[in-house]
Structure 1
């Protein structure tokens, strides 16, 4: 069977492919810090979070590059010096980073990861910077999907009896979800889950 007509989203080979697999493996073993801090039993991992984001994006949008952006947006968290760090005021002050500290640490980690990926690494780094800068419609939707997924997950945890109050998440981040499709999904999902 010929692969001539198949469009590979990213062209990884050899050591590059091994590096990407390691990054993904670490993210699937890294529990999300926000849930750990809130004492959620069996919290989702960064990798599971990414998987849900990509699923939502596939179902709700047909925006070129959005899925790729979501797949790589948390790659810096695979670096042992970064991890899944929080910047919000609700986390313990001793572990809280400023937004600039987090960005600088993630920037360094992403440069390191992408350097090992050759030409594909340059494409990934550019896509990650686009996500971080939040200037394009695609990156803004990616950030809103990120918030939506977190709120839906909080509602799920609350329904399971975990020590979570979804209202706190809606109050903190609900107004950051501005796209009409995502606002509708948020309203519907919270009603259905609760």
Structure 2
């Protein structure tokens, strides 16, 4: 007899999960919409580039594969709750409650609490808690990817997006990301 981790998922539930992932592809990031960016990135665009950036990790103290996986799932709940930004009047506690409920629904209901869903939930929870070295690194990646995108939109859309840079100033911890941030700031001055 097969165990749950190797058995076929209920395809109706799996299809609903696939649609949630599709929402990540279709949902544009709120911060860019609020700044009238012509062609704003989607949530999945952001997650994808973070994953690629995590591939560049060269730090023996961190589990690179875990960082890549964490980058892939860190915004998965937004496929249900949307991209909630700080200035929308939703408290951090309320945002966390909504995202936790979304992740529980995805992992327990749709993915039927399989080993894979347990891994997804665990990675997401680790990221949210931000206490491990890997979670701290991925949080740095999250902020860096945002300012990298802001830099690109400043050039393409001729906008001043200084507030995105200001919101992250002094908040980076990992040496690799800090070096990227310094280089980006230099490029931004040119």
Within 5 A, what are the aligned runs for 1:158-169?
158-165=154-161, 167-169=162-164
Question: Secondary structure of 1:75's match?
Answer: coil
Output one character per residue of 1:99-135: Cα deviation in whole Å (capped at 9) or x when no partner: 1110000000000000121322122111111110001
With normalisation by structure 2, the TM-score equals 0.84
Q: Is the 8 A contact 2:20 2:79 kept in 1?
A: yes
Q: Say yes or no: does 1:180 pair with 2:181.
A: no
Instruction: Please say if 1:70 is aligned against 2:66.
Output: no
CA contact (8 A) 1:152 1:189 kept: yes
Q: Please report how far the alpha carbon of residue 23 of structure 1 lies from its aligned counterpart in structure 2 after TM superposition.
A: 2.6
The partner residue of 2:24 within 19, 23, 27 is 27
Q: Which residue of 2 aligns with 1:7?
A: none
Q: Quickly say closer, same or farther: Cα 1:150–1:13, change in 2 above 3 A.
A: farther
Counterpart in 2 of 1:41?
Answer: 38
Query: What's the counterpart of residue 98 of structure 1?
Result: 91
1:109 maps to 2:105: no
Q: Distance in 2 between matches of 1:17 and 1:191?
A: 46
**Structure 2: distance between partners of 1:12 and 1:163:** 51
Deviations 1:134-157 (A, max 9, x none): 010000001000000000100111
The answer to whether the 8 Å contact 1:53/1:70 transfers is yes
Structure-2 separation of matches of 1:35 and 1:169: 10
Equivalent pair of 1:152/1:190 in contact (CA under 8 Å): no
Which of 116, 141, 145 is equivalent to 1:145?
A: 141
Pick closer, same or farther for the CA change 1:188–1:12 going to 2, 3 Å: farther
Aligned 8 A contact 2:84 2:95 in 1 = yes
Cα distance in 2, alignment partners of residues 53 and 188 from structure 1: 18
Q: Shift in Å at residue 11 of structure 1?
A: 7.1
What is the number of residues matched between the two proteins? 176
Root mean square deviation, CA, Å: 2.1
Q: Quick one: structure 1 residues 109 and 172, their matched pair in 2 at CA, closer, same or farther if it must change by over 3 Å?
A: same
